[in-house]
């Protein structure tokens, strides 16, 4: 692991780091905020997954999480959204919703993406192991959250690993890639046309199939221009009601899809996570 930068902020240290990933076969970059703490103390960890076109820099610079994390004693980890570098394939047309910046937190099985696009393994296995080894992290107390494509990632990862994550939440998540253009394009390209293989990457399908977590918190802006065509939170509401999966879905009047929205409700989500990791 290499240190790219560190800065003091809100009674803690904000760092940006790189390392050679065995999952993606590329150099990966991520950011970590560590609050000041007593020597030898281990802190709970929140993993934050970003959305389409983003890197870890978007939430690091605009998420406004550090003051709350310092007060709550939370380490905040933000990885990149896809592998990058020479030889990493991209969307052939240069579109924003596939390829670089759009890894969708899956393990690709379709050429030419299989070699590098293994973001599921990176987030579920490799990055947590690195955080546990290099930072004062209590890896028995971890949680996960995300925005848009990252909300999809957070929900599906938590539902597939209910014993690992103490809490999960999302801002404007893609709740059902099986039923939206973003998901159809990404999952076809990364794992093929057989939609039965997509269900492991669809939060609604996972819940329908019996996956459960103690609670889900979702905030969704009513003025989000992707609300009806891509995000479709009503799908999540319906499957949770039918299955008995606890869900708190808050429609936030007038808010859009941007970090103005995310930063407004970031503290609420971090408090949600802190409570569940302390219990």
Residue 207: its pLDDT value, please?
98
Q: Which residues of the chain have pLDDT under 50?
A: none
Q: Is 257 a catalytic residue?
A: yes
Residue 220: its pLDDT value, please?
98
Whole-structure pTM over 0.75, yes or no?
A: yes
The Cα 88–Cα 84 span in angstroms is 6
Residue 173: its pLDDT value, please?
98
- Strands in 43-49's sheet, in edge-to-edge order, are 2-9, 12-20, 27-35, 75-79, 43-49, 137-147, 165-171, 217-221, 248-252
Residue 60: its pLDDT value, please?
98
What are 8's strand-pairing partners? 13
Residue 86: its pLDDT value, please?
94
Residue 203: its pLDDT value, please?
98
Residue 73: its pLDDT value, please?
98
Q: Is 148 a catalytic residue?
A: yes
Which of the four CATH numbers 1.10.1060.10, 3.20.20.70, 3.40.50.2300, 3.40.50.1820 does domain 2-277 have?
A: 3.40.50.1820
| Catalytic one of 21, 23, 82, 148 | 148
| Catalytic one of 82, 143, 224, 269 | 224
| Catalytic one of 116, 147, 257, 273 | 257
Q: Is 152 a catalytic residue?
A: no
Residue 34: its pLDDT value, please?
98
């Amino acid at each position: 692991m290499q240190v790219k930068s560190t800065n003091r902020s809100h009674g803690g240290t904000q760092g940006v780091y790189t390392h050679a990933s065995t999952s993606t076969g590329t150099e990966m970059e991520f950011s970590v905020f560590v609050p000041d703490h007593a020597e030898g103390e281990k802190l709970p960890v929140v993993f934050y997954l970003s959305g389409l076109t983003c890197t870890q820099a978007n939430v690091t610079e605009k998420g406004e999480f550090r003051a709350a994390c310092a007060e709550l004693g939370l380490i905040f980890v933000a990885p990149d959204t896809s592998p990058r570098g020479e030889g990493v394939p991209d969307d052939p047309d240069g579109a924003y919703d596939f390829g670089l910046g759009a890894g969708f937190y899956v393990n690709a099985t379709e050429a030419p993406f299989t070699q590098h696009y293994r973001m599921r393994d990176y987030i579920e296995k490799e990055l947590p192991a690195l955080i546990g080894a290099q930072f004062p992290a209590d890896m028995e107390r971890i949680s996960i959250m995300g925005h848009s494509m990252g909300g999809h990632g957070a929900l599906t990862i938590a539902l597939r690993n209910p014993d690992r994550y103490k809490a999960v939440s999302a801002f404007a998540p893609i709740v059902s890639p099986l039923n939206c253009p973003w998901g159809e394009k990404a999952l076809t390209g990364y794992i093929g046309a057989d939609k039965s293989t997509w269900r492991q990457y669809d939060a609604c399908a996972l819940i329908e199939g019996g996956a459960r977590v103690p609670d889900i918190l979702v905030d969704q802006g009513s003025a989000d221009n992707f609300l009806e065509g891509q995000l479709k939170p009503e799908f999540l509401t319906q499957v949770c009601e039918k299955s008995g999966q606890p869900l708190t879905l808050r429609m936030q009047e007038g808010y859009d899809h941007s970090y103005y929205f995310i930063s407004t409700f970031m503290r609420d989500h971090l408090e949600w996570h802190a409570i569940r990791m302390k219990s």
